[in-house]
Structure 1
């Protein structure tokens, strides 16, 4: 050991390359570790404080929730006795109508038993009183009968006389100030009893503030001296984990935070001087009552634990520094040995490259890393192309809603920033029939790049356009924007795109314009609206831009009749009722012949759309009679039809007859319909439970995937969409009852939060539950 030390200092005294290498390695190995240790020690201390603050915030939130649930439980229990619905009788009707006097001693005894029974179902209740307003009598759960002048709590009597339809809550009162018969701090709840829309009686509940504090307010653990308490807006302590502090007044610093929280966030983290002790404090402003929740942890408790953790981290860092110095010294003696091992392992992997080894491992490693960097850049380019394709696929799925919007995994914020809530949507139809007749499918697909480049050039000034090809010849251009466009501005955007497409591509085009003003949530609805406009193309002709406002009322009604017939044809096809579908088609053709001028544009513009609807309905079946080649052949034959009679013959011989031959067994379809009806009956009877696709599938003996597919085939809607819609109809009926709170309705319909129910209701009905209830009131 002594010889090694002498050799080390001898090397250090001569500034050779090896000495410099040793010095550099020692510095490189020790300084970063020391810095890391110091940083880790202090960051650990900060993390402890931050986690304690977050833990206290969670503790306050849970405490508030438990107290709210406690008060709600008491309210619900009293509601059973004080509320009469349309199909039940008020349980306390007899006691409201009769005088509580000695002559009615049996009534008094029965009421006393009910009060004792009701009090036994409540926690932390000191006394429960019944106050008859017309007769001015008070009966307590202890069996005492008073007049309102004899009753020892005039404040409660005064509040009961002023009741309307809701509860009255009296904050903390000390025993020697109001109600002399009670010897502990109390909170008071006064519940009205309504009869004939009048308050004829009230229940007065006296809650034990000390008992509630002991059971409901647990101080933050494991910090010594910590506490949790609740104050009103004036700083009076209502509840406290240290029950001796109940009824006192909060520190001035806490009062200042209460005033600050009146216009600030609902939760505040700060360091306050409470009662002469610096404490890390979290304050929560209650949204249900005008209360403020405080959780305090003394700074000293933080300091002890944080210092202990910091000292441990510093000791570990010091040990790592010593180990680093030792390894740095040993590494300087064999610097190139690891490098030689590394190059020997990498050379087999680089055998197929053109890297020449000239004996210099560092130079070879540098050239090899350059090659890896080039390969990584190429891989990055390929990945960008992949993600671009994946983004277009996701947008396509959002448009047709093949997947729920909230379930997609790719981030959409690069294409659609949060501030872009208005999204114009343009569907461009480049005469699909003509393109499929004149070009191969591959050549038709190449037009996507032309449309994409033109859209980027023309619409790029409005936002970042995204072009998706739905099928050859049919494209969707989406332009996320911050500012909303007027209808004429939206039409101008479509006309500019259409004019450029006609000038450069030499193709007829039709543009259907719509928009979403709710971001990506409304893309599917906007796409459905614009797709519906394509059905009216035969009315407008080629080279037009059409908005939903363009349809005249009479034309729209006639077109809606055709659209209704299409839906009935599609429904009949999904049910495998071929004869019924053909009969509806013949009626549709008669309607066209009577209401419209049968022109070449109508034949070539409307009936291919109808054929697409029929094929789409057939494709919902497990088997598909129409592949892409067959569909193309059908469209070409349909394009050769010169009048309505030839069109009738085409659909009779080439469509419905083929379907009859392909599907001659309808028993399987009837079985599927019966299974779906069983599932719907189960939903109707259990909508207020935690229903799932798995549960319903087990009910009818199917796998969840098979049930989901079959349900969509038979009904045309997804399972989850039907369940949500049914629950929303129930919600509308429940909102008609003014006594039901929105939170109660959300709980009944199995929503985890009131906000989630409100979002689902607004998305389905178009307005919030509160707005719907106001609309019912007129």
Structure 2
């Protein structure tokens, strides 16, 4: 029995060493590095969570700040602060309260909003219009002493509505905005109250290691991540004292927090000066390091065990083919032969096989040229199928994959008259030219030259950077062959060149083109080199992108017209799929449509990431689609439908704003010659568009609403004043009192005089309107 165990043992030892040594080294490396890097990674994660918390809180506060700034600059607020409020101005008060309630309903947890008139000494809030109390005036005076026109301040109770029934005071954060800004003597101010518990809802709840705390500019605690955390204490004061000494906008340090060593990350807000800190116990981080070390150790042990098992099994499996090969080589040998090393025996067997192969190759080599000529002849005649090309030419060791472009050169003798040759020498001359072509053109750039009827044919290959470069190369080869034939054989020849193609499957077509080019030598004379494009140029098919259909689709999207958009998509894709037969051209057209749609969406002020998402990227989704139908449906439902929803919402919001502005104009200028045209000029919209918006939003036309409002004002004048009917008619812009009386009677059912008399009678009888 042969001693295979020695080589098998070597294989086992080698594979175990190779597989286990890297595991041991990697385990030691990761164990030593883990302890030092886990704390750094945890700190980086803690800082990232802290920054995300700060940005989330500041995003809400900045939005609230912008809402209050916009409200303080509104004409309603300026009018109230300048002229005050009288009981009859209930509409003005209602509009202000509505504007304030819109800010209060913003998802920020606003408790109340107060508008204070410092000149008139009153306060307007959700409780109504009231005079300022002494305590409220004192508190507001304290705000006036602060130099900033806008600031955030915290207190243990609500500043302007102290609730004595409350069980315990709660921390409230106030946004104070003076009106007007940057004035030494402001006319009024807005005070927005936010409970501190609202800030806690914005703190990160996924920070399992640390605790997030928010401090104001004076380092007072505003909110903590954990509601049960102690708000004040000696330990927290120690951390705050360290912060007071630092002027850095952000940082990370270690400190003693009670009986624990903690890592503290902090960031100062440039928006309102608040300080955001995150506290994480160092011991917990080290515990994670130790636990990770044990995990790495256990993993290494398991991997070592698996590596040993795999090495034993793998070595035996790898040796099995060697054993079978050795047994097959010595099966027919003399059993009495002295047994030697198995690899030596295998080497001898392969040497014998190689010698036999060389002998066979020498025999086949003599027939290769004839076989190659036969295959080339079948190629140019079109007798070889595409599926047979790689199979049959592969036997000739021709590297078909090395070539990118292929063309055919055909050579014909112009004439034998005036030469030393006769017509019977023509075939021999063509074979001589074929041999010269084989010598002039490198073997890796051609197939074997052949003679077909009265022409010499050569299939030429190259890997050019461009089609024009390959064409230049073919011209240079043709010129060289032409010159050599004339020098050595004293013959004039003409050469035809086909267009370039991407593979041998087009060899027959290229051969016909080269032969067609040869026919034009009658017009150009002898000794010519003719390319098929020079005599039969290809007519390029021009395509046109359907710009008009694209414009109509975009108009329908902007008008939020779903039906029209869907009707236009089908002819759009039918046109581009019909014109662009080339896939690259079609893909460019679809990409152009996609880019234009995204540009349209961005012009509307909406981010396509927020609306359409980006996972996976939109371009990857588009290029992964397999058919025109899939592409059309993708555009219809994934891109255009969300865009239509955006434009539809924008139109609704725009309609509401326009109708509110028109109503306010009517209320402010009912006693002037106000008209739909004058309002449209001020709002910079067409009158018909304004009328359409009012009918959609309010269900009434401009003239009807103006008439109803003037009628209500006329009723108030008849009830509250002694103005004559003619004076009221003039104030309401009627041409004469008779028109006013007729209009009043048509709408109310009685004349203005009768209405005033009935109102006076009811007052005298103690009745209330």
TM range (shorter): 0.3 to 0.5
Q: TM-score, normalising length from structure 1?
A: 0.40
